DNA sequence: TATTTATCTCAAAATAAATTGAACCTACCA
DNA sequence: TGGTAGGTTCAATTTATTTTGAGATAAATA
C-alpha cells in the first residue's frame, strides 16, 4: 500500500480525529466515575482521561473533536488541570500547545489534597475561635458543653493535619515497599 | 419570677423552639462548609451540626422548626445520617424519636470512607480487566502503552487500598499517641 | 498590515442536584 | 373506631452547577 500526501502512515496528521476506541472510552469512563467521587467536573475528567491513555501529547483540538466538547470547556478544563498539576505542556513543532497527563499518583494526590481539601480546612481555625468566644457568653452548663465540642473539633482538625504527611509518604512509596 | 403551666424553667418543653444562637449558627456553618468539600448535602450537614452542638437529643420537630427545613428534608436527612452511622436514636419518654450526634472522629471517618469513597472504587477492578482485554486487540505499540497504563491504574488502586487501614488507625489514635 | 488560527472569557442555556410539600402510612389515644 | 401526631415517600419545584458558544484577544503567517 502506497502512502500519498500524508507524511507517514503512523502519524495522525493535523486534521485526523478518529472516534474513541473501546480502550479510550472505558478509560475515560473510569476517570469520570472517579471524578464524581472527588467532586470534579465530568468534562475535565474526560480531558484528563483522554490524555492519560494517549501515547502522545494532544492539542486542544483533539479533545474538542474527539470528546465533542465546546471550545470553552476545553479551555477551562485544560487551565484547571494545569493549575492542579495534573497535566503539563509539551514542546512540539506546531503552533498549537500540546498537553500530556502527569501520571504519578504521588504528585496528583498530593496536589489534590493540598489544593482541594486542605485549602477548605484552613479557615476553620478562625471560626472555632469565634465559636469558643461566643460560647463563653452562654450559661455555665451550656458553655461547658459547647467548649467541650470546640475542643473536640480542634482535635479533629489536628488529627487530620497530622495524618496528611503520612498519607502522602504512603502514596509515594511503591507497591507497599 | 414564677413559673406557670410549663413543667420546669430549664426543660425546653414540647413546643419551645428558640432561634439559633451564635454558637449554634457558627457550628452549623462549619459543618456545612465541611460537607461541601466532602460532597454532602447542606441540609444534612445542618442537621448533623445542630445535633452536634446540642447537649440533649432532639426530635425531628426541632430541626424542622429551628433550621426551617421541610418535613421531607428532615426525614431524608435523618435516615441518611443513621445509615451512615453519624447519628443514633436515643430512648426518651416521648412518642417522638430523639436523635444525637455520634461524635467520634474514628467512627465517622471510617464509615464515611467505607460507604462513600471505597464503595465507588470497588467496581473499578472489573473495568480495568475489560480495558486490558480490549487493549490486546490494538496494534503492538498501542497495546504496549495501554497495558502499561492499566498496570499503573492497578497499582494506584492497590496503593489506595493499602493506605486505608493505616489511615483509620491514625485517625483513631488520640493526640498523636 | 491584513488574515488566519489558537486560545480565552463570560453571559446565557442546559443539565444536575437538592429541597419541598402533598399524599400516604401507621401507631397511639380519646 | 375516628381523629391526630409523627413519620415516610416521591413527583414537582427550586436552586446550583456545568456546559456552551458568541465575541474578544493575541500570536503567527501571508
The pLDDT-based confidence of A23 (bands split at 50, 70, 90) is very high
Number of domains in chain A: 2
pLDDT more than 90, % of chain A: 69
Rounded to 5°, the CA angle A119-B46-B101 comes to: 100
Residue A1's pLDDT is: 39
Q: How far is the CA of A68 from the C1' of C3 (A)?
A: 28
Pick from A23, A127, A130: CB nearest B138 = A23
Map residue B17 onto helix, strand or coil.
Answer: coil
Please check whether residue B41 lies inside any domain of the structure: yes
Flag whether B2 is in a domain: no
B7 found inside a domain: no
Q: Are residues A97 and A33 in the same domain?
A: yes
In angstroms, how far is D11 C1' from B45 CA?
A: 24
Same domain for B97 and B26: yes
Show the domain range for B151. 106-172
Specify the long-range contacts of residues A15-22, CB closer than 8 Å, at least 24 apart.
Answer: A17/A61, A17/A62, A17/A65, A17/A66, A18/A66, A19/A66, A20/A50, A20/A66, A20/A67, A21/B134, A21/B138, A22/B134
Under DSSP, the state recorded for B54 is: -
**Same domain (yes/no): B91, B114:** no
Nucleotide nearest to B41 (CA to C1'): C18
A67 in the same domain as A32: yes
Cell of A54: 494517549
Domain end among B70, B103, B136: B103
Select from B69, B12, B9, B17 the least CA-distant residue to B45. Answer: B69
Q: Classify residue B13: in a domain, yes or no.
A: no
Are A47 and A110 contained in the same domain? no
Per-residue pLDDT of chain B (177 residues; tens, 9 = 90+): 433 333 433 445 667 789 999 999 999 999 999 999 999 999 999 999 999 999 999 999 999 999 999 999 999 999 999 999 999 999 999 999 999 999 998 889 999 998 888 877 777 899 999 999 999 999 999 999 999 999 999 998 888 888 888 888 887 765 444
**Of B79, B84, B8, B87, which is closest to residue B54 (Cα–Cα)?**
B87
Q: Which of residues 126-155 of A touch B (CB under 8 A)?
A: 127-128, 130-131, 134-135, 138, 141-142, 145-146, 149, 152-153, 155
pLDDT value at residue B9: 36
Q: How many CA atoms lie within 13 A of A133 on its CB side?
A: 7
Domain end point (choices B103, B130, B157): B103
Contact between B175 and A155 using a beta-carbon 8 Å cutoff? yes
pLDDT of residue B176: 42
Geometric angle at alpha carbon B14, from B8 and B16, rounded to 5° = 85
Asked if B53 and A149 come within 8 Å (Cβ–Cβ), the reply is yes
- Say how far apart CA A104 and CA A84 lie, in whole Å: 13
Helix count and strand count (H, E) for chain B: 8, 3
Report, in ranges, which bases of strand D sit under 7 Å from a protein C-beta. 5-11, 17-23, 28-29
Task: Say if residue B161 is in the same domain as residue B122.
Answer: yes
- Cell of residue B122, nine digits: 470497588
Give the pLDDT band (50/70/90) at residue A5: very low
B56: CATH: 1.10.10.10
Residue B97's nearest CA partner among B73, B66, B119, B74 is B74
C-alpha cell at A7: 507524511
Non-local (6+) Cβ contacts of A142 within 8 A are A135, B55
Q: Are residues B29 and B86 in the same domain?
A: yes
What is the rounded distance in angstroms from the CA atom of residue B170 to the CA atom of residue A6? 59
What is the H or E stretch that residue A77 is in? helix A71-84
Between helix A140-172 and helix B105-112 the angle, nearest 10°, is: 50
Amino acid at each position: 500500500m502506497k502512502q500519498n500526501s500524508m507524511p507517514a502512515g503512523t502519524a495522525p496528521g493535523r486534521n485526523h480525529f478518529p472516534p474513541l476506541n473501546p480502550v479510550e472510552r472505558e478509560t475515560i469512563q473510569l476517570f469520570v466515575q472517579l471524578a464524581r467521587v472527588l467532586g470534579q467536573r465530568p468534562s475535565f475528567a474526560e480531558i484528563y482521561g483522554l490524555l492519560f491513555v494517549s501515547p502522545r501529547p494532544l492539542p486542544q483540538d483533539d479533545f474538542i473533536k474527539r470528546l465533542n466538547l465546546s471550545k470553552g470547556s476545553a479551555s477551562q478544563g485544560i487551565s484547571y488541570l494545569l493549575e492542579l498539576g495534573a497535566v503539563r505542556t509539551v514542546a512540539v513543532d506546531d503552533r498549537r500547545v500540546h498537553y500530556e497527563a502527569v501520571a504519578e499518583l504521588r504528585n496528583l494526590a498530593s496536589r489534590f489534597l493540598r489544593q482541594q481539601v486542605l485549602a477548605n480546612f484552613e479557615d476553620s481555625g478562625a471560626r472555632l475561635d469565634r465559636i469558643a468566644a461566643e460560647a463563653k457568653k452562654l450559661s455555665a452548663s451550656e458553655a461547658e458543653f459547647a467548649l467541650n465540642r470546640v475542643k473536640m473539633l480542634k482535635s479533629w482538625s489536628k488529627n487530620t493535619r497530622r495524618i496528611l504527611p503520612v498519607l502522602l509518604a504512603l502514596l509515594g512509596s511503591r507497591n507497599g515497599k
